[in-house]
Amino acid sequence: MSVPSVEVWADPERRDLEERVAAAELAWLTLDVDVATLRVGIDNFALAHHQLLGPLYAELDELDALIAESVAALSGDPEDLRRAREARERVEPAEERGPREGEPEARRVRPDKDAQRVYRELARRAHPDLTTDPAEQERRSAFIARVNEAYALADAAELERLAEEWSSSPDSAPAADSPDRLGWLRQRLEWLSGRITALAVERVRLERTPMGELLLLRPEEPERLLEDLAERLLATAAERQARLAALLPDNGPNDPSDHAPRENPSMFAQLPTADAASVPADAVLLDVREQDEWDAGHVDGALHIPIGQVVARLDELPEGRLYVMCRVGGRSAQVVQYLVAGGRDAVNVDGGMFAWEAAGRPMVSGTGQQPFVL
């Protein structure tokens, strides 16, 4: 492209338009990348949320239905019966939830700065609205669809390949010294203003979706946010398990006809707990920390299931007593509470991995380096 003459840049309107178009292009491209990145992040978070927490939400619905049905059976009240029917209708049948086996792993991709740079450049050069020719618009639309797909997958190599593919494509903008340049600048500025507005509206829409609002609570640590949600849901499930147990009729020999709700003594008992030093060497250990914590240091032979995945992977837990561990004992206590309420033999390791390390118990790392508690 030729360099504009001094006379061209001396035209105040032309100079103003060139600067405004350049600034608008920068704003458009930055916002375009931000919105595309946000959309990818929300899609990834929604998939992880569904896969990791979906089974627990389904179990909470089932517990709510069972509690409502127990209350209705005890009272016989028409209003309680209505609530029980409505609670049961909210339970999603297992066949409609679909099989858990074989579901795709959650994609946690985040385009890096190189991918963003290439994506921005391709959007600037290949956007369909840069031409008025219908055939050329169709070609560009198909190409940009491939660019968007590569960006959604954070595939920097594919983006670079697409950039090379487009490098020979003509630039539809008139040359800097062309007489058509002024008209093109006006049209370009109008289009950029419309695109910036549309992207700003789309960003607000995405941020206000349920998953968008949730993700924005901790945008840099979505995995930790899921962990926090799982802890709360596990605690809620354990409480409802205990409430259901208290509502079930006593089938003992004292009075079979007495169906009054009874308290279950175990629901008020302390959680089964063991200090790290007393855990048997052949104990079955369940570590519910996150992957980075596990990689830094863990007990050799322990079963690793992050807390957010425990409910979805219950069938992986072996029979018999489980010693549950986390970093300091808080997350593991939630899991033990949930497992005990469901009739499992589970024990919380008091003090978690910090206590294990302090007791001089052996650890290994997943990196081959010296193990430590993260």
Catalytic sites, residue numbers: 326
| DSSP one-letter string for 4-60 | PPHHHHH-HHHHHHHHHHHHHHHHHHHHHHHHHHHHHHHHHHHHHHHHHHHHHHHHH
Angle 246-250-254 from CA coordinates, rounded to 5°: 140
- Quote the tokens at residue 22: 């350049």
| DSSP one-letter string for 86-127 | HHHHTSPPHHHH--STTPPPP------HHHHHHHHHHHHHH-
CA distance 92 to 226: 22
CA distance 279 to 361: 10
Within the chain, how many helices (H) and strands (E) appear? 13, 5
Q: Give the end-to-end CA distance of the chain in Å, rounded to a whole number.
A: 56
Burial of 164 (0-12, 13-18, 19+ CB in 10 A): exposed
Within 13 Å and on the Cβ side, how many CA atoms surround 307? 30
Paired residues of 303 in beta bridges? 286
